[in-house]
Structure 1
Amino acid sequence: MTAPAHPSYTSGISNTPLLGDTIGANLERTTATHGDREAMVDVPSGRRWTYTQLLADVDALAKGLMAKGVVAGDRVGIWSPNCPEWTLLQYATARTGAILVNVNPAYRSHELTYVAQQSGMRMLVSATTHKTSDYRSMVEEVHPQVSSLTEIVYIGDSSWDDLVAAGGAVTDEELAERGAALTPDDPINIQYTSGTTGFPKGATLSHHNILNNGYFVGEMIAYTEQDRICIPVPFYHCFGMVMGNLAATSHGACMVIPAPSFDPVATLDAVVQEQCTSLYGVPTMFIAELDLPTFADYDLGSLRTGIMAGSTCPVEVMKRVVAEMNMSEVAISYGMTETSPVSTMTRMDDDLARRTETVGRSMPHIETKVVDPVSGVPLPRGEAGELCTRGYSVMLGYWEQPDKTAEAIDDARWMHTGDVATMDEHGYVNIVGRIKDLVIRGGENVYPREVEEFLYTHPSIADVQVIGVPDDKYGEELMAWVVLTAGAESLTAQEVRDFATGKLAHYKIPRYVHVTQEFPMTVTGKVRKIEMRERAGEILGRE
């Protein structure tokens, strides 16, 4: 009788216990130990904070929120590219028990309207402008449509100063009382993730979720108070605010902001100027840095580690990052917003093959399994199935969408990722596909249904299907297949882009448009997107 095959299941063992703090209490603890150490540097403005100064500014802002009537559980939105005020608000909301609602800086007015209404947003803290975005005009358009939104604050504007000044009426004792009433399991953050229904879902995360995930990410790459982390990834993602900010503050390390949004020159300049020991990015960011004509001029000797995540990490890029950027201890991580975000991660002593061909193994205190997507039974090692994870990191649920939560998290609290994966005999996971038609463009997740719902509003489009097609720069690009309305003679990609610009985030706008009479269908009338992807290469003149 042969022994049964090992099931595709692992749990991340650890001698290090989970943190039982709130985010505010953890920041206090770090400040008590490392108060004189540098906590945050904003390279563009030259502003710097020690931990003592950071906590003081966080608390001044927290008191301002309380003075404006913000109570625990109120939703406070942040709509801005990376800046110190983003980080200050992240910790100030945590100190008061308000729920921070992350709004993607690439969103436009109709997307802002949706998340503000769906979250019941009470206050919005917004940038005024960035690149081509005029946030103020969009906020003024949206504000009257959202009945819950009673307070607008602009960063760098007198309204920000007024918010901080208002805190003078709140005592230290009142702030301490508020903090003492909070628990680690309170919801503290809502992050909107694109949904197959056509609208984003608000993944609701607790102190316990994101503080511990940030802490253990830092543990995996051996952060101490000596580390300085260059964070060119956006704060509105877990990559920036959890793996960046919370990993730093839970270890007494320094957060370095190289620019409001990713710029390869600014990033490497910041690494050199601030002697950063760690650098984050999605693969396209590292590619852009390595491809700079002046790359050889940068002395990156201070670097030792970092994280590459967001999409599949090409082997050759990883090899160059290790060899040419001095990042011998760089890690790969896998996760999703709903799991705070990291579920699996490579270890510093993993060989290059494991760091390039897998997404690592279970994080400490996290369980991982690969199951038959129909039966839910764990599959033998090496067989492909749906990846599921369970542990402290699984979100509380989708904000006010219990039906959607039940679709994603089963009765045993397993998060069903929708990704197809295999697990080897040592517990290393390899992502081999996606059950749903998620497109990952340059680290941004795009669900075609959301884009399709919008494109249906175009007067010349009778029917539309959106797919992802391979792209050398972004990993994938969007391609829309459209059936025209009667009377419409043609539709170009540029016309679609013009129609969507200012209404859809730029990364959701299809690069390619293919006009067709009909879509490939199954005998039961379902669209065959797999065939569309196969035919796309021929249509676009590629292999």
Structure 2
Amino acid sequence: MPQPSYTRGRQDKPLLTLTIGQAFDATVARHGEREALVVRHQGVRYSWRELAAEVDVHARALMALGVEVGERVGIWAPNCAQWCILQLAAAKVGAILVNINPAYRVGELEYVLRQSGCRWLVCADAFKTSDYHAMVQELVPELASHGVAELASERLPDLRGVISLAAEPPAGFLPWAALAGHAGQVEVAACEARQQGLQFDQPVNIQYTSGTTGAPKGATLSHYNILNNGYLVGQSLGLTERDRMVIPVPLYHCFGMVMANLGCITHGSAMVYPNDAFDAELTLRAVAEEHASILYGVPTMFIAMLDHPLRSRLDLSSLRSGIMAGATCPIEVMRKVIEQMHMAQVQIAYGMTETSPVSLQTGPDDELELRVTTVGRTQPQLETKLVDGDGRIVARGETGELCTRGYSVMLGYWDNLQATHDAIDPAGWMHTGDLAVMDDAGYVRIVGRNKDMIIRGGENIYPRELEEFFHTHPAVAEAQVVGIPCSKYGEEVVAWIRLRPGHSATAEELQQWCKVRLAHFKTPRHFRFVDEFPMTVTGKVQKFRMREISVEELGG
């Protein structure tokens, strides 16, 4: 009988039964004077003890603002010290942190705040082409006329107030610098009692994933989910208090806040943010000047660093390992990372937000070929199986949908029982939608997707969401969206558009229309205007044929 495509990860690594606050406090007690957080673009350096002081005062301030256990606090900002402080402070008081993509526009922001029922929003003033203050004021014009914690918004009735990271924000915003001043209203003992009353399996984080049915879904994750995932990813890397990790990946994503921040926090490793967003030169300088041993990134980041003229002039010899995730890595890129960036033990990780995120990972000693052709083996304390269309486990070497079960599977989609039911089966298996093959040694190779999801530069894009979005344009009768290969980002978005009779629109007009309403990574790079779409005899759109035609015309 052929061996089934099922594996169970190592069971000798016990899971942590702590809240994030408890794990953080334990690290502070062990390594208090060691460096914990370096934020180079802000000129910030904290020891573990200094970081704890910031976290504790802001935890008390949140309580003073009336934040209760289970209430949602949104964070809409690029990488910065305040992001890390809020992540830990919110966890200590039992709040649920809602990660908001810094690239979101007004409509996306409104949806996330409303769907999650956010009570408070913490936001930057601006980032790249986004004016966060202006977008918040558009959504909540009442903000300027209300006192602290007294907001009454027509469009966002749950929202109590907005905290700005700017030194002097417009009227109505509570400056972050003034937030700590509210801590005196809450006794230290009251904050400690709040933390002691929390359970490790309570929700602590909501991360929105693009929705296959148009609306993003909020993956709800517990302390147990994400603390253990960060811990076990770090275990695979061999993290210790002597490691220094450079983190150019975004904190709003699991890669940053879980695999990086929580991976470091559970092992006492220093967190180094080179900039508010990825910059190849600043990342390379951070590695060299901070004597970093660990570096994270998606393949496009590593390609940019390898190609940067400064790289060969910097001493990167302190590096030993790191993680590359988010997309498949070409073998030549992996070889150069190992040879030219000294990352002999670099690992590949695979997962999804709904699984906290990592479910499979290569090991430090895996052969190069395994690190570029597979996503590794099942992580400790998890199970993996590959199933056919009937839900039956396929034999090794056969293609099936990858499913994950164990501690990392989310609690569910926030306030969306149907979507949760569709994603997690009655036996507790999370269905990823990815098609994979498992070999005799248990290594898994991703071969495709049974959903139409596009992965561009590590960001998941669901065509259905974009197609429904295009239908709100007055000139668009119908839209179909596909992805085509791209050497820089992995995939690029192509929109096929059928215009309404008597209407006109150019690619440039639609692109500009998208840019002011969508996160930049979702905006299609290419447009193709058609009178009809390739169809089957039964009238179904042939996306595979659209993809083939797009590749023929545009390359890829």
Q: Retained in 2: the 8 A contact 1:233–1:261? A: yes
1:68 aligned partner: 65
Q: 1:107-256 residue pairs with structure 2 within 5 A?
A: 107-143=104-140, 144=153, 145-157=155-167, 159-256=175-272
Cα distance in 2 for partners of 1:83, 1:293 equals 27
> What whole-Å deviation, never above 9, does each CA across 1:423-469 have from its counterpart, x for those lacking one?
00010000000001000001110001111111111221111000001
Aligned mates of 1:46, 1:483 — CA distance in 2: 51
Equivalent residue in structure 2 for 1:472, among 478, 487, 491: 487
**Pick from 377, 387, 397: which aligns with 1:382?**
397
Q: 1:310 aligns with which of 314, 319, 326?
A: 326
In the alignment, residue 223 of structure 1 is paired with which amino acid? L
SS of the residue aligned with 2:398? Answer: coil
8 Å Cα contact 1:43/1:258 also seen in 2: yes
Number of the residue aligned with 1:441: 456
Is 1:15 the counterpart of 2:12 in the alignment?
yes
Tell me the residue number matched to 2:26.
29
Equivalence map 1:387-536=2 (5 Å): 387-489=402-504, 491-536=505-550
Q: CA deviation at 1:523?
A: 2.0
Look up the match of 2:282: 266
Cα distance in structure 2, aligned partners of 1:187 and 1:370: 28
TM-superposed CA distance for 1:314, in Å, is 1.1
For 2:484 and 2:544, the matched residues in 1 are separated by 11
Helix, strand or coil for the counterpart of 1:44?
Answer: helix
**Pairs within 5 Å for 1:76-91:** 76-91=73-88
Q: TM-score, normalised by structure 2?
A: 0.96
Offset from partner CA, 1:14-36 (integer Å, 9 cap, x none): 32200000000000111111111
Aligned length: 537
Q: Among residues 310, 335, 340, which one is paired with 1:324 in the alignment?
A: 340
* Partner residue, 1:278: 294
Residue 52 of structure 2 is aligned to residue 42 of structure 1? no
Per-residue CA deviation, residues 127-151 of structure 1 (Å, 9 max, x unaligned), is 0011211100001112342111111
- Deviation, structure 1 residue 488: 2.3
- Measured in 1, the distance between the counterparts of 2:80 and 2:246 equals 13
Kept in 2, the 8 Å contact 1:493–1:511? The answer is no
Tell me, yes or no, if the aligned pair for 1:78 and 1:86 is still in contact at 8 Å.
Answer: yes
Contact 2:205 2:222 in 1 (8 A): yes
Question: Residues 333-362 of structure 1: CA distance to partner in whole angstroms, max 9, x if unpaired?
Answer: 000000000000000011111111100000
Aligned-pair CA distance for 1:483:
0.7
- Listed one character per residue, the Cα deviations across residues 179-223 of structure 1 (whole Å, up to 9, x for unaligned) are 011000100000000011111100000000000000000000100
> Residue deviations 1:214-243, cap 9 Å, x none?
000000010000000000000000000000
The Cα of 1:492 is off from its aligned counterpart by: 2.5
Distance 2:177 2:157 in 1: 25
**Cα distance between partner residues in 1 of 2:304 and 2:428:** 39
The one-letter code matched in structure 2 to 1:12 is G
Q: How far apart are 1:293 and its partner, in Å? A: 1.8
Q: Secondary structure at the match of 2:26?
A: helix
Distance in 2, Cα, partners of 1:205 & 1:16: 21
- Larger mean CA deviation between 142-151 and 46-55 belongs to 142-151
> What letter corresponds to residue 63 of structure 2 in structure 1?
M
Q: Shift of the alpha carbon at 1:539? A: 2.6
Q: Would you say the 8 A contact 1:420–1:431 is kept in 2? A: yes
Greater displacement, 153-162 / 38-47 = 153-162
3-state SS in 1 of match to 2:267: coil
Q: Is the 8 A contact 2:492 2:525 kept in 1?
A: yes
Q: Distance in 2 between matches of 1:98 and 1:72?
A: 5
Letter in 1 for 2:427: A
Opposite residue 446 of structure 2, the aligned amino acid is I
After TM superposition, give the deviation of residue 502 of structure 1 in Å: 1.6
Shift of 1:482: 0.8
RMSD: 0.9
Q: Give the C-alpha shift of residue 284 in structure 1.
A: 0.3
AA partner of residue 488 (structure 2): K
Contact conserved, 1:71 with 1:96, CA < 8 A, in 2? Answer: yes
Please say if residues 211 and 217 of structure 2, whose CA atoms lie closer than 8 Å, have aligned partners that are also in contact: yes
Q: Tell me, yes or no, if the aligned pair for 2:348 and 2:371 is still in contact at 8 Å.
A: yes
The residue type equivalent to 2:118 in the other structure is M
**Aligned-partner SS, 1:478:** strand
Give the Cα–Cα distance (whole angstroms) in 1 for the partners of residues 313 and 323 of structure 2. 23
Which segment drifts farther, 200-209 or 158-167? 158-167
Q: Does 1:56 align with 2:53?
A: yes
Once the two structures are aligned, what percentage of the paired residues are identical?
Answer: 55
Question: 1:156 Cα deviation (Å)?
Answer: 3.3
Secondary structure of 2:503's partner?
A: coil
